[in-house]
Amino acid sequence: MRHPVIDDLLWRKTTKKYDASKKVSEEDLAIIFATMRLSASSINSQPWKFVVIDSKGARERMHKTFANKHVYNQPHVFESSQIILFAYNPCYTRNDYAEVVDQYIKDGRVKPENREAAFAAFTFAEANTDETGNTACWTKAQTYLALGNTLHTLARLKIDSTPIEGIDTELVNEEFKKELGGYCCDVALAIGYHHAEDANAKLPKSRLAMEKILMRI
């Protein structure tokens, strides 16, 4: 099957080694950031925060978080163009959803007099909140929707990427506590351009056969 979307996804491979001399342009970064913002989320909750590791100082801080484990991912910190922390709100409340509703009003999706009625969807968030007010199982899942959307956009832009769950979440969340502002990061994304010595870039794409994973009924 040949189609531009399929071709882009066939092109995408997880990068194992980046070319530090190549940087993503500001124009492409703007597209990537817009994509992240426009990602889908349950009830349009948008319970996320994205922290871009770009400056030398931020990279040095991120580099330190690999002190105890996942050292194989540490080279990405200085070799990739950027690393993005995908963080979620572990205690999403009605006040958080109020920001969404008020944005609806600003954007003309909801009339001011219908503001209270717009909170009907929040019952879904309540159904995913435990007795302590924790919503992490639900909000964390939303960050992966944003991650997937970003990966597809990067493929279309022919920018390489590496989703990184191999981070020390305790150290990352402590090191960037101020920037995260109470949000939690369990996954990061390195972006840039692969090095000529990146062995994975030379390997064929491999996925299970369609009939193994898809059933039409």
Task: Establish if 123 belongs to a structural domain.
Answer: no
At 14, give phi and psi (nearest 5°): -70, 125
In a domain, 26, yes or no: yes
**Mean pLDDT, rounded, for 149-162:** 98
Which pair of tokens denotes residue 18? 């980046």
In a domain, 136, yes or no: yes
- Would you say residue 106 lies in a domain? no
Q: With bands split at pLDDT 50, 70 and 90, how would you rate the model's confidence at 1? A: confident
Domain count for the chain: 1
Tens-digit pLDDT profile for residues 71-101? 999 999 999 999 999 999 999 999 999 999 9
Indicate if the pLDDT at residue 182 is higher than 90: yes
The verdict on residue 51 lying in a domain is yes
pLDDT digits (tens, 9 = 90+) for 110-148: 999 999 999 999 999 999 999 999 999 999 999 999 999
Q: For residue 206, tell me if it sits in a domain.
A: no
- Residue 44 is part of which domain span? 4-92+129-195
What CATH number corresponds to the domain at position 186? 3.40.109.10
